[in-house]
Amino acid sequence: MVRAACFEGVVWIRVESRGNYLSSGPVKKFVLAMINRGHKRFVVDLAACDHMDSTFMGTLAGISQKLGHQEQGLLTVINVRPRNMELLENLGLHLLFRVEALADGEKTPAESGAELMEIPMAENPDKGIVMAAHEALIAANPANAERFQDVLDYLGKDTGTSSPS
Protein backbone atom coordinates (compact mmCIF):
# COMPACT_ATOMS: atom_id res chain seq x y z
CA MET A 1 0.00 0.00 0.00
CA VAL A 2 1.14 3.51 -0.78
CA ARG A 3 -0.30 6.64 0.79
CA ALA A 4 0.34 10.27 -0.10
CA ALA A 5 -0.37 13.82 1.00
CA CYS A 6 0.65 17.31 -0.04
CA PHE A 7 1.49 19.76 2.71
CA GLU A 8 3.74 22.76 3.23
CA GLY A 9 4.84 22.63 -0.42
CA VAL A 10 6.03 19.02 -0.18
CA VAL A 11 4.49 15.88 -1.65
CA TRP A 12 4.85 13.12 0.95
CA ILE A 13 4.64 9.49 -0.22
CA ARG A 14 4.65 6.68 2.36
CA VAL A 15 5.37 3.14 1.12
CA GLU A 16 3.93 0.48 3.39
CA SER A 17 4.97 -3.17 3.11
CA ARG A 18 6.88 -3.56 -0.18
CA GLY A 19 8.02 -1.10 -2.81
CA ASN A 20 7.71 -3.25 -5.91
CA TYR A 21 6.70 -3.50 -9.54
CA LEU A 22 3.01 -3.30 -8.59
CA SER A 23 3.40 0.04 -6.81
CA SER A 24 5.89 1.56 -9.26
CA GLY A 25 3.44 2.55 -11.99
CA PRO A 26 0.89 4.20 -9.68
CA VAL A 27 3.64 6.04 -7.77
CA LYS A 28 5.23 7.27 -11.00
CA LYS A 29 1.87 8.43 -12.41
CA PHE A 30 1.02 10.20 -9.16
CA VAL A 31 4.40 11.98 -9.06
CA LEU A 32 4.11 13.06 -12.71
CA ALA A 33 0.63 14.44 -12.01
CA MET A 34 1.98 16.38 -9.03
CA ILE A 35 4.90 17.73 -11.10
CA ASN A 36 2.40 18.86 -13.74
CA ARG A 37 0.55 20.74 -10.96
CA GLY A 38 3.77 22.57 -10.10
CA HIS A 39 5.10 20.51 -7.19
CA LYS A 40 8.89 20.18 -7.10
CA ARG A 41 9.73 18.75 -3.68
CA PHE A 42 8.99 15.09 -2.91
CA VAL A 43 9.64 12.95 0.14
CA VAL A 44 9.37 9.16 -0.01
CA ASP A 45 8.98 7.65 3.45
CA LEU A 46 10.23 4.06 3.74
CA ALA A 47 9.74 3.58 7.51
CA ALA A 48 7.08 0.92 6.89
CA CYS A 49 8.70 -0.51 3.75
CA ASP A 50 10.29 -3.89 4.39
CA HIS A 51 11.73 -4.43 0.91
CA MET A 52 12.23 -2.76 -2.47
CA ASP A 53 12.65 -4.48 -5.81
CA SER A 54 14.69 -3.17 -8.72
CA THR A 55 11.62 -1.78 -10.50
CA PHE A 56 10.69 0.34 -7.51
CA MET A 57 14.26 1.57 -7.04
CA GLY A 58 14.45 2.35 -10.75
CA THR A 59 11.20 4.29 -10.44
CA LEU A 60 12.80 6.36 -7.67
CA ALA A 61 15.81 6.94 -9.92
CA GLY A 62 13.55 8.00 -12.80
CA ILE A 63 11.62 10.40 -10.55
CA SER A 64 14.88 11.91 -9.36
CA GLN A 65 16.10 12.29 -12.93
CA LYS A 66 12.81 13.97 -13.90
CA LEU A 67 13.03 16.33 -10.92
CA GLY A 68 16.62 17.14 -11.87
CA HIS A 69 15.21 18.90 -14.94
CA GLN A 70 12.94 21.04 -12.74
CA GLU A 71 14.29 24.20 -11.14
CA GLN A 72 14.56 23.41 -7.42
CA GLY A 73 13.28 19.86 -7.99
CA LEU A 74 14.21 17.58 -5.11
CA LEU A 75 13.62 13.96 -4.10
CA THR A 76 14.43 12.90 -0.55
CA VAL A 77 14.01 9.30 0.61
CA ILE A 78 13.70 9.11 4.39
CA ASN A 79 13.35 6.61 7.22
CA VAL A 80 15.37 4.06 5.25
CA ARG A 81 15.88 0.76 7.06
CA PRO A 82 19.39 -0.80 6.95
CA ARG A 83 18.57 -3.44 4.30
CA ASN A 84 16.93 -0.88 2.01
CA MET A 85 19.88 1.48 2.55
CA GLU A 86 22.19 -1.33 1.44
CA LEU A 87 20.09 -1.88 -1.71
CA LEU A 88 20.14 1.84 -2.59
CA GLU A 89 23.88 2.07 -2.00
CA ASN A 90 24.64 -1.10 -4.02
CA LEU A 91 22.97 0.52 -7.05
CA GLY A 92 24.59 3.92 -6.45
CA LEU A 93 21.22 5.61 -5.94
CA HIS A 94 22.33 7.29 -2.71
CA LEU A 95 24.40 9.54 -4.99
CA LEU A 96 21.40 10.45 -7.15
CA PHE A 97 19.01 11.69 -4.50
CA ARG A 98 19.07 12.51 -0.81
CA VAL A 99 18.75 9.44 1.44
CA GLU A 100 18.22 9.56 5.20
CA ALA A 101 18.48 6.44 7.36
CA LEU A 102 15.78 5.52 9.84
CA ALA A 103 17.00 7.36 12.92
CA ASP A 104 15.94 7.57 16.53
CA GLY A 105 13.13 9.97 15.67
CA GLU A 106 11.16 8.75 12.68
CA LYS A 107 10.11 11.66 10.47
CA THR A 108 6.39 11.86 9.85
CA PRO A 109 3.92 14.38 8.43
CA ALA A 110 1.50 13.71 11.30
CA GLU A 111 2.67 16.76 13.21
CA SER A 112 1.46 18.89 10.33
CA GLY A 113 -2.02 17.36 10.48
CA ALA A 114 -1.74 15.86 7.00
CA GLU A 115 -4.00 12.92 6.33
CA LEU A 116 -2.49 10.47 3.87
CA MET A 117 -4.72 9.21 1.05
CA GLU A 118 -4.26 5.79 -0.49
CA ILE A 119 -2.90 5.58 -4.03
CA PRO A 120 -4.67 2.70 -5.84
CA MET A 121 -2.26 -0.05 -6.88
CA ALA A 122 -2.09 -1.68 -10.28
CA GLU A 123 -3.22 -5.27 -10.61
CA ASN A 124 -1.10 -5.85 -13.69
CA PRO A 125 2.15 -3.93 -13.99
CA ASP A 126 2.82 -1.94 -17.14
CA LYS A 127 5.86 -3.49 -18.85
CA GLY A 128 6.82 -0.02 -20.09
CA ILE A 129 7.08 1.16 -16.47
CA VAL A 130 9.28 -1.83 -15.60
CA MET A 131 11.49 -1.19 -18.63
CA ALA A 132 11.77 2.56 -17.94
CA ALA A 133 12.68 1.84 -14.31
CA HIS A 134 15.55 -0.44 -15.29
CA GLU A 135 16.74 2.03 -17.93
CA ALA A 136 16.79 4.70 -15.20
CA LEU A 137 18.92 2.43 -12.99
CA ILE A 138 21.46 2.10 -15.78
CA ALA A 139 21.38 5.85 -16.51
CA ALA A 140 21.93 6.54 -12.80
CA ASN A 141 24.95 4.26 -12.59
CA PRO A 142 26.50 2.63 -15.68
CA ALA A 143 27.77 -0.21 -13.46
CA ASN A 144 24.13 -1.31 -13.19
CA ALA A 145 24.07 -2.25 -16.89
CA GLU A 146 25.68 -5.60 -16.13
CA ARG A 147 23.01 -6.33 -13.51
CA PHE A 148 19.96 -5.34 -15.52
CA GLN A 149 20.72 -5.66 -19.24
CA ASP A 150 19.20 -9.15 -19.33
CA VAL A 151 15.97 -7.76 -17.87
CA LEU A 152 15.87 -5.05 -20.55
CA ASP A 153 16.65 -7.55 -23.29
CA TYR A 154 13.86 -9.84 -22.08
CA LEU A 155 11.36 -7.01 -21.79
CA GLY A 156 12.41 -5.67 -25.19
CA LYS A 157 11.73 -9.06 -26.82
CA ASP A 158 8.44 -9.38 -24.95
CA THR A 159 7.24 -5.94 -26.07
CA GLY A 160 8.74 -6.09 -29.54
CA THR A 161 11.24 -3.29 -28.90
CA SER A 162 14.95 -3.41 -28.28
CA SER A 163 16.83 -1.73 -25.48
CA PRO A 164 20.07 0.17 -25.81
CA SER A 165 23.09 -1.94 -24.92
For the segment 1-35, what is each residue's pLDDT rounded down to a tens digit? 899 988 878 999 999 989 999 999 999 999 999 99
CA-to-CA dists, residue 3 to 12, 117, 118, 119, angstroms: 8, 5, 4, 6
Task: For the chain, list the domains and their CATH numbers.
Answer: 2-159 (3.30.750.24)
Which amino acid would we find at residue 66? K
Strand ranges in the chain using DSSP code E only, listed in sequence order: 2-7, 10-15, 17-19, 41-45, 49-52, 74-80, 98-101, 117-119
Count of alpha carbons within 13 Å of 121, Cβ hemisphere only?
A: 16
Which of 39-53, 81-95, 112-126 bottoms out in mean pLDDT, i.e. has the lowest? 112-126
Cα–Cα distance measured from residue 130 to residue 50, given in angstroms and rounded to the nearest whole number: 20
Residue 162 has pLDDT above 70, yes or no: no
pLDDT band at 65 (very low <50, low <70, confident <90, very high): very high
Helix H or strand E segment including 155: helix 145-159
CA atoms within 13 A on the CB side of 26: 19
126-156, pLDDT tens digit by residue? 788 888 898 899 999 888 888 888 877 777 7
CA 98 to chain centre: 12
Work out whether the CA dihedral 56, 83, 15, 7 comes out positive or negative.
negative
What pLDDT shows up at residue 116?
A: 81
Q: Computed over its alpha carbons, how large is the radius of gyration of the chain?
A: 15
Which pLDDT score, from 0 to 100, does residue 165 have? Answer: 44
Q: Nearest 5°: CA angle at 20, between 19 and 25?
A: 100
Backbone phi, psi, residue 97, to 5°:
-140, 165
